[in-house]
Structure 1
Amino acid sequence: MHPDTLTRFRPIRFAVLMYAALSFGAAQAAEEDVVMYKDPNCGCCGQWAEHLRTNGFSVQEVATRDMAAIKREAGLPPELASCHTARVGGYVVEGHVPAADIRRLLAERPSVAGLSAPGMPLGSPGMEGPYPAESYRVLSFESDGRTAVFAEH
């Protein structure tokens, strides 16, 4: 082999490695892109979005007056409803689910439709305030309506 052979191919090898690194970064970034549907008059939804942004997620807020249709299209069982509905990494995330739980969901990739923090638990992300925080559960749910406890807070 000629001594210049390795030198000549070094830029190509570098380009391939850079492409692979950028592709991985883009895939990871896309995994953390959150699209959140909310009522235009809801303040706590924006606070939850800020909680996610603070924790490294990219959040697109979509205001809509037809949240019932969004929840139906997402296959969300009515008993799991909260004020906002989001999509991230192929999952539905309903309500004030902490960013750490979403990270765990994306890391473990369980065979579920999504997560929900039903209602609006006091002290959950976006629902902080001067009142005492309450304990609450984040539930995983499947498209057939079955649920399981994913996390307790």
Structure 2
Amino acid sequence: MQHTTTGNRRTWLARSAGLLVAGALPLATPAAAPTPLEVWKDPNCGCCQDWLDHMQAHGFAVKVHDTGNNAVRARLGLPPQLGSCHTALVGGYVVEGHVPASDVRALLQQKPKALGLAVPGMPVGSPGMDGAAYGNRRDPYDVLLVLRDGSTRVFNSYNPKAST
């Protein structure tokens, strides 16, 4: 009886090894599915498209509405003074403007009680505002955590001149 069990184990191992070699069983777990990101922007805005490319390159699956973002920004409760050229929704959070993908990932991981993140205006050097047209220029900017009452605090700071 023991011989049969050993034989069955050997047979199972041999067959499993063959399946691995043949590619029928994965050696590693598949990559995580892209994170859904819904965006409202102006259809003619090039920097918005550059930001979308940045987000897609960092694992976000983007759904775009080329209808402008003023109405959705107001509907979502983001204060106008925090506005930028595009507004996004991801994981129940608002993302306004040229927020780096790494900060969006940190937001989704930390899950703070907040409305979302914002980079007001369009600072040169932020994702989407960092193309060849701007040369080596990098302006300092803050990514703001927008609390539900509309107040803000700094979530992350980018000050390239201070780091040199």
Q: TM-score range by the shorter chain?
A: 0.7 to 0.9
1:21 corresponds in structure 2 to none
For residues 25-80 of structure 1, what are the alpha-carbon distances to aligned partners after superposition, in whole Å with 9 as ceiling and x for unaligned?
9xx747x1000100111111010000001111111111004x22111011110110
Tell me the amino acid that sits aligned with residue 82 of structure 2.
L
The answer as to whether partners of 1:122 and 1:131 remain within 8 angstroms in 2 is: no
2:60 corresponds in structure 1 to 57
2:37 corresponds in structure 1 to 34
2:120 corresponds in structure 1 to 118
Give TM-score, length-normalised by structure 1. 0.78
- If asked which structure has higher relative contact order (CA below 8 Å, sep 6+), I would say 1
1:134 Cα deviation (Å)? 0.3
Query: Are 1:141 and 2:143 counterparts?
Result: no
> Which residue, out of 73, 76, 79, partners 2:75?
73
Larger of the two Rg values belongs to structure = 2
Q: Distance in 1 between matches of 2:48 and 2:121?
A: 13
In structure 2, the gaps of 5 or more residues are 1-29, 159-164
The answer as to whether partners of 2:113 and 2:148 remain within 8 angstroms in 1 is: no
The answer as to whether partners of 2:142 and 2:154 remain within 8 angstroms in 1 is: yes
1:131 Cα deviation (Å)? 4.9
Query: Are 1:104 and 2:106 counterparts?
Result: yes
> Which residue, out of 41, 45, 48, partners 2:48?
45
Alignment of 1:87-102 (within 5 A): 87-102=89-104
Give TM-score, length-normalised by structure 2. 0.73
RMSD: 1.5
The answer as to whether partners of 1:123 and 1:133 remain within 8 angstroms in 2 is: yes
Tell me the amino acid that sits aligned with residue 59 of structure 2.
G
Tell me the amino acid that sits aligned with residue 44 of structure 1.
C
Q: Distance in 2 between matches of 1:136 and 1:47?
A: 18
Tell me the amino acid that sits aligned with residue 133 of structure 1.
R
> SS of 1:102's equivalent?
helix
Tell me which stretches of 4 or more aligned residues in structure 1 moved more than 4 Å.
Answer: none
In structure 1, the gaps of 5 or more residues are 1-24
